[in-house]
A and B are shown apart, each in its own frame.
Chain A
Amino acid sequence: MERGSMRARSAGILLTMGIAAYGDPYVLGQGLHVNDMVNIGGYFSSEFEAKGGEKSVTVDDVAVMAYGEINPMFSYLAELEAVGFYRKNIGNGDERGDQTFHVERFYGDMWLSDAYNIRFGKQLTPIGYWTREPINVLRDTSSNPLYSLLLFPKFLTGIDINGYIPSMEGTKYHLFGQNNSDFDDEYINIPNTHFFGLSIEREISSDFNGGGSIGEYITASNQRTRFLQANGKYDDSRWQVMGEALCAKSEYADRQDGYTLSGYLQGMYRYTPEHAVVGRFEHFNDHHSRYADTIGVVGYSYRPWYPVSIKGEYQWHSMNRENRALFSFSVLF
């Protein structure tokens, strides 16, 4: 496999391999189950954005994935994604797009026991909620909080040892590390050469869970950042309240230090299984770059079926020029 980017042809091969061996009936949102070794899925999202005088339409994510169990001990997951697949500026008619598929995830799991599982390869960083459900269709707002984009690498190309902590019911740990560049340097929010951390999560009841993480990474530009993170979530069938916060200290190549503080609190009320209103308050402050913003988001989510998501939102920023309206349509296959 070519390191880094792949062309759309690779994605086609991945899909064709599965369809040729098609077995069970297909259920939207739960993938195509061919056999225990091959399950196939995918997703896409499109977005309309109005910011200032500019309006644009984007087909943002187009992705295919395959996963399965090779035997009771080994399983795998592979995912290819094209981001910014197509974009059109409605005002001036400019069109552009990048149909290059990148390796979003490519990992294996070696299961030894519930207390000891080893995941190796390119994977989602096991921190908090947003990083682990990063795609539009699984979210309840079209936008991501800045928290999930700017504070730590959202992918790990390394090893995550994880499992339940014996004698602590409902408590899981992730001990993860990376001592190399990302599998695809062009396709990560923070290119880095070194990343490790420890994450703990506890399920207190079926409705409530929480956790926290501690970690360190060194960016490709030699910035060393250490961070402390916490998250909590309440979710019954009607109400969901979730929040995450992170405090980071960075040491830059010029030997200067800087702190970054960020967090969000999001609430959602589902008045039917299909319809929900969402609100989010977020604060972000990077003392080094002097970039600070406070963001309020109010949105509406309609899911005719759960794997089909139609969402709209308006964002108010303390940096007024960033105010915008977003609408999105996304599907998980």
Chain B
Amino acid sequence: MKLLWFFISLSAIAMGAEYSVIVSKKAPFSTLSVQQIREIFLQKRHTIGDQKMIPVNLVGQDEVRFAFESAVLGMDRNRLNTYWIKQHFQGITPPITQPSVESIRAFIQNVEGSIGYIPSSMVDGGVKVVYEF
């Protein structure tokens, strides 16, 4: 896992960040730490400042989602599945999903407080980048 992180970090430095974590343009903050994003997507934390956050995952087995889980959440799919099964016992459900990166971008443009991830090449003026990986 640590080796994978190392290579992902090296790639990001060498080629520029491949993916971006995005929020609505109206969000009252401009950057987030990995720890903050991780806590939001693991449903441990629900706000940034006074802003209630709505994490949005890409559905299924997409490489963008795998990259996010590995680089930002620091968990592989097995470990993440285990985490959500344990959370089910605690009465906590995983984030909502969207079927494509296009729909994630559209959702985030239109729903204040939502947060998701897309390829950096898809970032446009309708969303704000708060973290790159």
Question: Which residue numbers of A lie inside 8 Å of B, CB to CB?
Answer: 29-31, 33, 39, 41, 43, 65, 67, 72, 75-77, 111, 113-114, 132-133, 135, 138, 164, 169-170, 205-207, 236-237, 273, 306-307, 332
B45 touches A31 (CB 8 A): no
Complex CA–CA separation, A207 to B46 (angstroms): 22
A67 touches B79 (CB 8 A): no
With a cutoff of 8 Å between Cβ atoms, the chain A residues found around residue B85 in the complex are 29-30, 138, 306-307, 332
Q: Nearest chain-B residue to A78 (Cβ)?
A: B91
Complex CA–CA separation, A65 to B76 (angstroms): 28
B78 in the interface (beta carbon within 8 A): yes
Q: What mask results when residues 67 to 79 of chain B are scored 1 for a CB within 8 Å of chain A, else 0?
A: 0000001111011
A29 touches B45 (CB 8 A): no
Question: Which residue numbers of B lie inside 8 Å of A, CB to CB?
Answer: 1, 33, 35, 38-39, 45-47, 52, 73-76, 78-79, 81-82, 84-86, 88-91, 93-94
4 new A-B contacts, CB < 8 A, other than A31-B88, A236-B1, are A30-B88, A30-B93, A114-B45, A237-B1
B89 touches A135 (CB 8 A): yes
Could you list 27 examples of A-B contacts with CB < 8 Å? A30-B88, A30-B93, A31-B88, A43-B89, A67-B91, A75-B91, A76-B91, A111-B46, A114-B45, A132-B90, A133-B86, A133-B89, A135-B89, A138-B85, A138-B89, A169-B33, A169-B35, A170-B39, A206-B75, A207-B74, A237-B78, A237-B79, A273-B78, A306-B81, A306-B82, A306-B85, A332-B89
Scoring B46, B86, B88, B94 by chain A CB atoms within 10 A of each residue's CB, the highest score goes to B88
Complex CA–CA separation, A236 to B4 (angstroms): 13
With a cutoff of 8 Å between Cβ atoms, the chain B residues found around residue A29 in the complex are 81, 85, 88
B91 to chain A, nearest CB (A): 4
A276 to chain B, nearest CB (A): 12
A41 touches B73 (CB 8 A): no
Scoring B35, B89, B91, B94 by chain A CB atoms within 10 A of each residue's CB, the highest score goes to B89
With a cutoff of 8 Å between Cβ atoms, the chain B residues found around residue A237 in the complex are 1, 76, 78-79
Complex CA–CA separation, A114 to B52 (angstroms): 10
Q: Nearest chain-B residue to A273 (Cβ)?
A: B78
With a cutoff of 8 Å between Cβ atoms, the chain A residues found around residue B91 in the complex are 39, 65, 67, 75-77
Complex CA–CA separation, A133 to B90 (angstroms): 9
With a cutoff of 8 Å between Cβ atoms, the chain A residues found around residue B79 in the complex are 237
With A170-B35, A237-B76 known as contacts, the answer to whether A30 contacts B46 (CB < 8 A) is no
A288 to chain B, nearest CB (A): 34
